Chain A
Amino acid sequence: MLRYIAKRLLDLLPVILGITILVFLFLKLIPGNPAIVLLGPRATPDQIASLSKQLGLDQPLPLQYLAFISKLVRFDLGKSIISGIPIWQEIKTRFPATIELSVAAMLISMVLGIPAGIIAAVKKNGWVDNIAMSTSLLGVSMPVYWLGLLLIYLFAVNLHWLPPSGRLGINVDLQPITGFYILDSILTLNFRALGDVLAHLILPALTVGTIPLAILARITRSAMLEVLSQDYIRTARAKGLLERWVIMKHALKNALLPVVTIIGLQFGTLLSGAILTETIFSWPGIGSWIYNGILTRDYPVVQGGVVFVAIVFVLINLLVDISYAFLDPRIQYK
């Protein structure tokens, strides 16, 4: 098993290298000079030229790439051109926000999606099945940012049930310890803050969670259907076991495998969905940060942010594969 993991990790190296090359090249291909961004609208060409030199932008591309890589392996992602804040510092404060959002989104989609899928499969062709499946089809067909706007419009602007944006109310005193606000408020036993954090979390989490929710419901349903048609389930039923017992104990356990895979894969795509959603909800996470970096041509932010996100994405996929290997004894580790 360890050898399997080690081999998979080794396989990742060229992919990660490719990611860094691609990110680097894309940023060079995009028009616009970061020196201008820094200097603002009044900059003179002389100032621009001298700053470009200072930033190393006048070097040949391979040299610039080597400089970037040699810093990267030392975990030095540089500083934001715009704000001067070290990229690592920013990732450390923003990543928890994105993770908290993604986990909440994933929880919502699991809590709603898996039971919906199970019921839909058990009551195949019933009303629950029909509604669940058509809702999930609609869910994957909607632009998420649009859904986010509709949710803000409905629940924040018109009904005043939930706050329209942000992560934490102003009058709530919560000092970040871990950066995960839910955890922080529980650790400090600050339940007022906990309520506030949850209130801010619901709408963006629902927005980001819609697509995984829809996909999970569909996958769970089809996995359950497949398992329910297997011989051993029929045998179990024939033995006179309680239907609920059959479903919970035998069917669900075996249907879980593809579901776990999908959860992992969707977790990666959540990061993608987070970019637009975080912007709409002014959520201080990685997504809105990278998006802002793109808008302002903040090269180090985009470089560092995208490389980080892509690597996390790759690692999550690896974890999925490994957990898959654990769950499914049929897989051979060559």
Chain B
Amino acid sequence: MDSVSTPPVTQQSSLRKASQRFFKSISARIGLILTVLIIVLALLAPILRPYDPATARDFAARLQPPGAVHLLGTDGLGRDMLTLIWYGTRISLLVSVLSVGLGLITGTLMGLVAGYFRGWWETIIGWFTDILLAFPSILLAIAIASIDLNFPPLFTAVFNPDLLNVMIAVGIVQVPIFTRLTRSMVLSLREQGFVQTVRAFGAKPGRIIFLHILPSSLAPLVVQATLSIGTATLEAAGLGFLGLGAKPPTPELGTMLSDSFNNGYALSKSWTILFPGLMITLIVLAFNLLGDGLRDSLDPRSNR
């Protein structure tokens, strides 16, 4: 942890070292390239699309196996699987990135408060975290995703309201992870020399937390956030598989799997489950590789 908690002067050089380590590692590079590729493709989906996922359906060409016209075959509505997966990736990324953002912000704030103020704050937040962690995560997500939440129109204008529920569900599941991580870092940081010094000069808690403690804990948080995007993608796809989340015609990878499974052709028209599942795996793999690479380079002593 010394590389991130030392005063700012050497921080730049340690960052350079970290990035050197990162780019030396090929698996990290693969992760980075895959991630960038997936993000770019997702962003370009509306421009480069071969078909329109919402309207390009042809009932006469339902459940066609992969071929020249439809590279990955067609689904139960005669839509092009490649297009659907492409758009589904976009949705999955959107959901997982935003929900991790939600979990990161909420969890970090809670962790900072618990770790810095200790006392009752720590007890209550710790209690809350323990409870959330005691639930199998998918159950927790199902419960939250099933609630009828009424969002202000401002939100629903920007985001698809069906997806908002999933984002919140997946985000809340991530909260305790970030809370615990931040808290443990704050606990070690607040006793360190540079924090003690600014405190002795009478700095306010808010200032200390946000200007001194938080920046020093960024590296592990970034690593955890990257890895969490992977888990969030899996979690969101799981909810989609259970029928919670994207409403038709919004294509979503988990929903594509459940459409195939629930309508009975998962085992006979196997391309309808094979490719969406592969795509989920690829997204998660990319972020896991990237996260591992980041951890190895930012915290070289960690071996995991």
Answer whether A18 and B131 are a contact pair too, CB < 8 Å, given A143-B234, A145-B238, A153-B267. Answer: yes
Q: Residues on A close to B: CB < 8 A?
A: 14-15, 18-19, 22, 26, 29-31, 137-138, 140-143, 145-146, 149-150, 152-153, 157, 218-219, 222, 225-226, 268-269, 271-272, 275-276, 280, 290-291, 294, 306, 309-311, 313-314
Q: Which residues of B contact A (CB under 8 A)?
A: 127-128, 130-131, 134-139, 142-144, 146-148, 230, 234, 237-238, 241-242, 254, 257, 261, 266-267, 270, 273-274, 277, 280-282, 284-285, 288-289, 292, 303-304
Interface of A, secondary structure class, is: helix
Most A C-beta atoms less than 10 A away, residue of B143, B274, B285, B292: B143
Partner of A309, one of B136, B234, B288: B136
Partner of B261, one of A19, A140, A149, A218: A149
A225 touches B281 (CB 8 A): no
Structural contact, A149 and B128, CB atoms closer than 8 A: no
- Interfacial chain B residues near A29, Cβ < 8 Å: 147-148
Q: Is the CB of B138 within 8 A of A157?
A: no
Complex Cα–Cα for A268 and B138 (A): 13
From A152, A157, A309, B139 is in contact (CB under 8 Å) with A309
Most buried by B among A137, A145, A225, A269: A145
Given A306-B139, A309-B136, A310-B135; A152-B267 close (CB under 8 Å):
yes
CA distance A18 to B270 in the complex (A): 44
Nearest 6 CB-CB pairings of A with B: A272-B136, A146-B277, A18-B131, A141-B284, A222-B303, A26-B143
CB distance from A301 to the nearest CB of B (A): 13
Contact status A290-B139, CB under 8 Å = yes
Of the A-B pairs whose beta carbons lie under 8 Å apart in the complex, a sample of 24, sorted by A's number, is A15-B127, A19-B135, A30-B146, A30-B147, A137-B285, A141-B281, A141-B288, A142-B280, A142-B284, A145-B238, A145-B257, A149-B257, A149-B261, A149-B266, A152-B267, A153-B267, A222-B303, A225-B303, A226-B303, A272-B136, A276-B138, A280-B261, A310-B135, A313-B135
